[in-house]
Amino acid sequence: MPEGTASHCPYCALQCAMSLTGGPAGRAGSVTIEGRMFPTNRGGLCKKGWTAAELLDAGDRIVHPLLKQPDGTFEETAWSDALDFIAARLRDSRERFGADSVAVFGGGGLTNEKAYQLGKFARLALGTTRIDYNGRFCMSSAAAAGNRAFGLDRGLPFPVEDLDQAETIVLFGSNVAETMPPFIAHLAGARQAGGLIVVDPRRSSTARLTDDGGGMHVQPAPGTDLALLLGLTHIVIAEGLANTDYVESRTTGFEALRVSTNAWWPERVQATTGVPVAQLRQFARRLANGAGTYILTGRGVEQHVDGTDTATAAINLALVLGLPGSEHSGYGTMTGQGNGQGGREHGQKCDQLPGYRKITDPDARAHVAKVWGVHPSLIPGPGVPAVELLAELGKPGKVRCLLVHGSNVVVSAPDVTAVKAGLQSLDLLIVCDFFFSETARFADVILPVTQWAEEEGTMTSLEGRVLRRRRALHPPLDVRNELWILRELALRLNAPSTYSTSPAEVFDELARASAGGIADYSGLSHDLLDTGIAAFWPFTPGSAGTPRLFRDRFAHADGRARLVAVKAHHGDGGPLAGNTLTLITGRLLEHYQSGAQTRRVPELQDARPNARLQIHPATADRLGIVADGPVTITNARGAVHAHAEITSSIRHDTVFLPFHYADEESANLLTESAVDPISAMPEFKRTIVSVQAGGSNQ
């Protein structure tokens, strides 16, 4: 393998830069990872990044196609047999039950090239409307809010380094100290200025960064952020702290917005959220006074049934203060998955075509059809979002065959008991993965695919910056790239158009398809990216890209941002009765997502081997729960077995479980499939549960 291949981390959207060296020519052996200087990570990596190479040669990696046998075991099979089998079954399903009987579930970890090709394959080779992806569980609320307010959704509309100069940074429901550790270096300036504000029902690792007097931890009851945001906006307006020139010249809708915040006077907000009036006022004043203020949101406020409205309320607050698009100030959402940004731009979403185009827009259809060389009528219409798609599995007249690319839904989707039942009742489940994930266990066919260091491609980071992922070593002999798999299946299905297996060629096609769209990549190519330019989209031919959006105008036709009045629907809270508590779910530093990868890395798994329930000492005492003792968390949907982590960093009425674990430790046995009506984001962060001392055998 060439010395020091420059690449980026396989995990989160910070896309820390790394160099891969070592290992015998051909196969890995011992690949070493070093952090590489880059604006987001400045040479730093977290534990997950450091240990990522261990998965390249993991003992339990899937290295041959596997076909399920009648007795439930898997047997190795030749690629041609596996692909012939799949194509025959898909054709049969289409003929007998219609194109929508076949569905596709994608992922925000796929490269841009794979995400694009998967969307094209679903629409043209399968002819199905049924495609969506795990980004629905992640960025959908923030994306919907951004599109509605700004006319465009790019997580951070500015480079991460801009935050270094800020005096005030608010993190609403984001635990970056665990979820993007190198990022906290960018908070240093604000901490020093006493202006880091962390809004989280837990005293998370990030909230603890404010302990040294460097800011403020605001601890609302879970799911009450919308009221908190309305209340902050109320104070800003009432105390004359709004930036009226900005509101007048750059936004519309202020009057309705003002009226919508009228009823959220500080005492009422305190009653609903538990945040003291004095702290609310201090918070609002800090926002208005700091030189250089940024408001950032994370999954803590977005993964709710009112997530879009909550993210909208955060944007409203930012707009009233005059932050978005201003020098030294801004608003953003922290994208999560490695390609969570690009993954939501190129057509994996059920209602979307490449370039962040709408599949219902006749001009968009005509443009993309031309690039694909087909008649626009061949492109099916919109499908249904992820939770609804999963609910259709195996239902009469609905989805009978499913292809999964880059998601472990049996662990990560809400209400996993229902998801498992759906998977079980399918005629055919095909899972592309490198590991025998919990979802792969349900498959009829498992197709082994290349890992990050074994393939060429591009990723788009949380800053909207397009990055090159480079191949550093050959994959195991019988492992294939997904572009190849999609091409082979497309050929067998007599699909219209072409399906290149060259990532550079697919990128060029993606660039053409995106031309004139919102996420315009038309000026980019692998060759240009290889020169090391900072490629922030939109990037049209001859341009230098767009590191900072919204400087002069927002993306709506009139150039103005929309203040969208939203309502808080929850009541005035009140204590929960008996053993009933609010469960919030989230992440630990050591594990990534469903844990399919990180539970296989010994250092990470040894550090965090089991699910632990964070619970307040007073609550534990009341329930007879002892430190490290077994606990059972239950509600109508299921029961989770974990061990107690007694900590005063959580509210009395709230408990916390990470969602990285499987089987009886899976937090998603308890979550429900209720979704946000606008974004279709499920409610991951607020579930009512009972907690008892004792484990499964007691």
Ligand X SMILES: Nc1nc2c(c(=O)[nH]1)N[C@H]1C(S)=C(S)[C@@H](COP(=O)(O)OP(=O)(O)OC[C@H]3O[C@@H](n4cnc5c(=O)[nH]c(N)nc54)[C@H](O)[C@@H]3O)O[C@H]1N2
Q: How far is the CB of 135 from ligand SF4 (least distance, A)?
A: 17
Residue 9 interacts, among ligand SF4, ligand X, Mo ion, none and using kind-specific CB cut-offs from 5 to 8 Å, with: ligand SF4
List the x/- string, 554-593, binding to ligand X by CB under 6 A: ------------------------------xxxx-x-xxx
Residue 336 interacts with Mo ion (CB under 5 A)?
yes
Q: How far is the CB of 48 from ligand SF4 (least distance, A)?
A: 4
Tokens of 181: 């550790």
Q: Find out whether 259 and 565 touch, Cβ atoms under 8 Å.
A: yes
Q: Is the backbone of residue 541 left (phi > 0), alpha (psi -120 to 50) or beta?
A: beta
Q: Find the binder of ligand X among 153, 178, 306, 665 (CB under 6 A).
A: 178
**Of 34 and 60, CB closest to ligand SF4:** 34
Q: In angstroms, rounded to a whole number, what is the distance separating the alpha carbons of residues 609 and 590? A: 10
Strand partners for 191: none
Strand order in the sheet with 457-460: 457-460, 465-469, 535-536
Q: How far is the CB of 534 from ligand SF4 (least distance, A)?
A: 17
Q: Find out whether 572 and 231 touch, Cβ atoms under 8 Å.
A: no
Residues 6+ apart with CB under 8 A from 510: 112, 113, 116, 346, 354, 521
Residue 223 interacts, among ligand X, Mo ion, ligand SF4, none and using kind-specific CB cut-offs from 5 to 8 Å, with: ligand X
Q: Find out whether 147 and 351 touch, Cβ atoms under 8 Å.
A: no
Cis peptide before 538, with omega less than 30 degrees from 0?
A: yes
Residue 174 interacts, among Mo ion, ligand X, ligand SF4, none and using kind-specific CB cut-offs from 5 to 8 Å, with: ligand X
Torsion of CA 112, 118, 119, 122, to 10 degrees: 180
First and final C-alpha spacing in the chain = 54
List the x/- string, 351-380, binding to ligand X by CB under 6 A: ------------------------------
Residue 49 interacts with ligand SF4 (CB under 6 A)?
yes
Q: Is the backbone of residue 354 left (phi > 0), alpha (psi -120 to 50) or beta?
A: beta
Q: Is 596 exposed, middle or buried (0-12, 13-18, 19+ CB in 10 A)?
A: buried
| Backbone φ and ψ of 259, nearest 5° | -60, -40
Residue 416 interacts with ligand SF4 (CB under 6 A)?
no
Q: Find the binder of ligand SF4 among 108, 135, 182, 595 (CB under 6 A).
A: 182
Tokens of 268: 């009422």
Q: Which one, of 696, 636, 646, 623, lies nearest residue 672 by Cα?
A: 636
Q: Find the binder of ligand SF4 among 20, 33, 45, 318 (CB under 6 A).
A: 45
Q: How far is the CB of 614 from ligand X (least distance, A)?
A: 9
**Of 130 and 304, CB closest to ligand X:** 304
Q: How far is the CB of 592 from ligand SF4 (least distance, A)?
A: 7
Q: Find the binder of ligand X among 316, 412, 540, 546 (CB under 6 A).
A: 412
DSSP string computed for 290-315: SSSEEEEE-HHHHSSTTHHHHHHHHH
Which of positions 547-576 make contact with ligand SF4 (CB under 6 A)? Answer: none
Residue 14 interacts with ligand SF4 (CB under 6 A)?
yes
Residue 15 interacts with ligand SF4 (CB under 6 A)?
yes
- Residue nearest to ligand SF4 according to CB distances in the complex: 49
Which of positions 191-220 make contact with ligand X (CB under 6 A)? Answer: 199-202, 204
Q: How far is the CB of 44 from ligand SF4 (least distance, A)?
A: 8
How many other C-beta atoms lie within 10 A of the C-beta of residue 567?
11
Which of positions 572-601 make contact with ligand SF4 (CB under 6 A)? Answer: none
How many other C-beta atoms lie within 10 A of the C-beta of residue 607?
14
Residue 204 interacts with ligand SF4 (CB under 6 A)?
no
Residue 336 interacts with ligand SF4 (CB under 6 A)?
no
Beta-strand pair 352-353/357-358: antiparallel
**How big is the site for Mo ion, counted in residues (CB under 5 A)?**
2
Q: Find out whether 225 and 172 touch, Cβ atoms under 8 Å.
A: yes
- Which of helix, strand or coil describes residue 26? coil
Q: Find the binder of ligand SF4 among 46, 459, 511, 581 (CB under 6 A).
A: 46
Q: Applying CB under 5 A, which residues contact Mo ion?
A: 138, 336
Q: Applying CB under 6 A, which residues contact ligand SF4?
A: 9, 11-12, 14-16, 41, 45-46, 48-49, 180-182
Q: Applying CB under 6 A, which residues contact ligand X?
A: 12, 107-110, 134, 137-138, 172-176, 178-180, 199-202, 204, 222-223, 225, 298-301, 303, 336-337, 405-408, 411-412, 432-435, 437, 449, 482, 584-587, 589, 591-594, 596-597, 659, 667-668, 671, 684-686
